[in-house]
Structure 1
Amino acid sequence: MDKIDIKARIAKIAIQRDSLVELLEKPNLGTLRIDVDQALEELDELVDEFNETFPEEKM
């Protein structure tokens, strides 16, 4: 897997971040809120790590 493939996959995942944010705003999530919040944190960490590894390819 080369840098272009990695960037494309991370971009595809990052696009779905908005869906997680919208889901987090729903009042009836219950304990699922913890999982959604964790997914958002991990997604943000993934993008941050990509940006640290490839600063010229920032997302």
Structure 2
Amino acid sequence: MDQSTLKARIIQIESKREVLLKLLEQPNLGTIRVDVNQALEELDELIFEFREIFPENKPEFS
């Protein structure tokens, strides 16, 4: 996989972060809340590592 393809895929994945945040706000998640929270944490870690490797991609969240 070349660098531009990797960047495009990570950016596409990053755009899905908002969906997890909205899902986490749902009051009726029950035990799946743990899974959503874990997915969000792992996604944030992936994005952080991506930005470490490719610093030209500025963060959209803190």
Query: TM-score scaled to structure 2, two decimals?
Result: 0.87
Larger RCO of the pair (alpha carbons < 8 Å, separation 6+): 1
Aligned length: 59
Alignment match, 2:23: 23
Q: Please tell me the root mean square deviation across aligned C-alpha atoms, in Å.
A: 1.0
Which runs of no fewer than 5 residues in structure 2 stay unpaired?
A: none
Q: Where is the helix percentage greater, Structure 1 or Structure 2?
A: 1
Cα distance, 1:54 vs structure 2: 1.4
Identity score, percent: 61
Moved >4 Å (runs of 4+): none
Please list, as runs of the form range in 1=range in 2, the aligned pairs for 1:1-59 lying within 5 A after superposition.
1-59=1-59
Q: Which amino acid aligns with 2:47?
A: V
Q: Which runs of 5+ in 1 are unaligned?
A: none
What TM-score results when the alignment is normalised by the length of structure 1?
A: 0.91
